Amino acid sequence: MSFEWLNPYHLQVGSFILINVLLGISIYVTLATGQLSLGNAGFMSIGAYASAILTTQHGFSIPSAIVIGSLLAGVSGILVGIPALRLRGVYLAIATLGFGEVLRVVFINWESLTGGAVGIAAIPQMGREILAAVEAAGFSPEDWGLRNNQFISLSIFLILAAVVVLAILFFLRLFSSRVGRAYTAIRMDETAAETSGIDTTYYKVLAFSQGALLSGQPGRFHVSPRGGDPGVRRLRRKRGPLRPGLRGDAPYPAPRAAPGDQRLPVHHLRNPRRPDDGLPAPGTDRSRPGRAADRRKAAGRILR
Amino acid sequence: MFLEQLINGITLGSIYAVVALGYTLVFGVLDIINMAHGEIFMFGAFVGMLIVTKAQAPLWAAFLGAILATAAMGYLLERFALRPLRGRTGGSPLAPLISTIGVSILLENVAHKVFGAGNQLFETPFAEIRFEVGPVTVYLVQIAILAVSLLLMAGLSLWLHRTKAGKALRATAESLETAALLGVNTTGIITATVVIASAMGGVAGVLVGMAFNYINNQMGLAMGLKGLAIIILGGMGSVAGAVAGGLILGLSETFMVAYGSSGYRDAIAFAAIIVVLLLRPQGLFGQAPPEMQR
């Protein structure tokens, strides 16, 4: 059986779609209680930086780094969610936007930890690790009719697809559970919900941290398929995750993926013929993030 | 040194104030935040740049062109991104906010396509003219920026408080329904508000081009976010608050760069947002609106 038609580039685009789906759900969860958070890019960057630093500097394995990064994002979601209880609607949206921006500036300036605007290079890639593990177990992708680069892209795509399916199932179940009904009640009328005995503080903070935890996860995946630095494109991301998530008051999380998340694929579209690998080797693909960083630095200089 | 930094800060602050005035006008009348304002501002800067450097026209033509272009964009924004959402029952109150975010992404990418991603030089004919006033060096550009922004602020204030249209605008801001019942053409007022706010953004764009000599397609985002910070700081919908907030932010950023760490300059605005929202959500000049505690 041959999988010649399986194009690693298309799989990579598909992976980005799935990442955007996760981000969309993460916005939706917080929005389910009527709170619009524009700071999810900040949570995403916490997850991304945490897992990248853990794997490159502290020798953690990728799965454990992902889990720890997501948990860290979730905890920071609690920390942001508690003061955010004082704010509603547009004011909350702007405060969370401010949170994300402060976080960006801190990450850019904290060079000893994050590498500043250049970012972190040579982050281990999940696809390659899986390939290595498979080969160590005595198999080869060729046995299944796959080239190595196809296998790498496919494995990431499948893992992401599994995560997305699990997340959707989890939140579908959640929304028809006691917690989900509490969310809906709070969204519809907070005062009434409180009067009927719902602990609004608890559920609002819970929704916040769930959203944060979920957006911390793609942060890591987002790093993985590219092996670039997690920091540089967060500014763009700020508004990226918004689009999938906001669907007014739809009763279910039916997030629309935003395949046109222009920032990421553009790089590939401009350069459709990738090196035969399909994935940039760690550390070699620093030209683009570097350029983006230059551009951003220049942008900063302008308004200085 | 201190005095020069003071002048730098006031120049920057007056530009910020003009940007923030655009936000505050729209918020005052429509109760929405126009996230596309920063991008309209950026288009104003580009139109001004094209007129000054490519067409070799004088500076006043750049202002005029930027005002015309951004006013037209403001009209289109209101007509196609805001009006269809207004008065629709059952819609999310956040829908206009999201819609303007969409417009801002669109505009930024259009600018990327049309003008390119790199920095463009914005040359003003008198960029190098300067005066020595005692120990202080003052550039003519700074004086021009200050004059244009003061003129705009004074004009806006006069228009709001001394003309019939300004009265109608304030009435609409007070209550859309009541103003409509009293015979105010609220649709026209809303359109005029968005158009004027956008035109002010366009003027601010040219001012930024004059002040920094470089523009690019991402400047709208940074400036837009700072404009937001300013109206939060000064009080949403308050004209005096926007001016004061702009000056405070401009001065504190300048002094942060001069005497502190330049890297954290951009954090001031957003740290201010968070602190103000948590401690005094109505801002320095605003009254606490009822919906704040809805």
Q: ipTM for the complex? A: 0.78
Same structural domain, A284 and A197: no
Place of tokens 């289109």: B76
Q: Give the per-residue pLDDT at A155.
A: 84
Nearest to A157 by CA among A284, A278, A289: A278
Do the domain assignments include residue A196?
yes
SS3 call for B131? strand
Determine whether the interchain pair A102/B262 forms a contact, defined as Cβ–Cβ distance below 8 Å: no
Same structural domain, A55 and A175: yes
Same structural domain, A230 and A304: no
Same structural domain, A197 and A300: no
Do the domain assignments include residue A76?
yes
B89 Cβ under 8 Å from any chain A Cβ: no
Q: In chain A, how many domains are there? A: 2
Which residues, in sequence order, are CB contacts of B166 under 8 Å at separation 6+? B158, B159, B160
Interfacial B residues in 135-194 facing A (CB < 8 Å) = none
Interatomic CA distance for residues B197 and B100, integer angstroms: 14
Same structural domain, A61 and A176: yes
Same structural domain, A205 and A284: no
More confident residue, A142 or A252: A142
pLDDT(A19) > 80 = yes
Residue B197: which pLDDT band, with cuts at 50, 70 and 90?
very high
Same structural domain, A66 and A173: yes
In terms of residue numbers, what domain contains A304? 276-304
User: What number is the average pLDDT over the span B159-176?
Assistant: 88
Do the domain assignments include residue A113?
yes
**Which residue on chain A is closest to B270 by alpha carbon?**
A98
Do the domain assignments include residue A137?
no
Residues of chain B with Cβ-Cβ distance to A106 below 8 Å are 267
Determine whether the interchain pair B264/A109 forms a contact, defined as Cβ–Cβ distance below 8 Å: yes
Interatomic CA distance for residues B291 and B294, integer angstroms: 5
DSSP readout, chain A? ---TT--HHHHHHHHHHHHHHHHHHHHHHHHTTT---S-HHHHHHHHHHHHHHHHHHS---HHHHHHHHHHHHHHHHHHHHHHHTT--HHHHHHHHHHHHHHHHHHHHH-HHHH-TTT----PPPHHHHHHHHHHHTT--GGGGT--HHHHHHHHHHHHHHHHHHHHHHHHHHHHTSHHHHHHHHHHH-HHHHHHTT--HHHHHHHHHHHHHHHHHHHHHHHHTTTTS-SSTTHHHHTTTTHHHH--TT-SS--PPP-TT-THHHHHHHHS-S--TTSSPPTTT--HHHHHHHHHHHHHHHHT-
Phi-psi sector, B122: left (phi>0), alpha (psi -120 to 50), beta: beta
Q: Are A295 and A239 in contact (CB under 8 A)?
A: no
Interatomic CA distance for residues B127 and A30, integer angstroms: 49
Q: What tokens does B264 get?
A: 């954290």
Same structural domain, A247 and A282: no
Do the domain assignments include residue A152?
no
Nearest to B208 by CA among B22, B57, B3, B46: B46
Main-chain phi, psi angles of B96, to 5 degrees: -60, -35
Do the domain assignments include residue A58?
yes
Same structural domain, A195 and A285: no
Same structural domain, A166 and A227: yes
Same structural domain, A78 and A103: yes
Do the domain assignments include residue A131?
no
Q: How large a percentage of chain A has pLDDT more than 90?
A: 3
Q: Give the per-residue pLDDT at B66.
A: 92
Q: Give the per-residue pLDDT at B67.
A: 93
Residue B137: which pLDDT band, with cuts at 50, 70 and 90?
confident
The alpha-carbon gap from B266 to the nearest alpha carbon of chain A, in Å, equals 7
Parallel, antiparallel or unpaired: strands B130-133 and B136-139? antiparallel
Do the domain assignments include residue A34?
yes
Same structural domain, A303 and A259: no
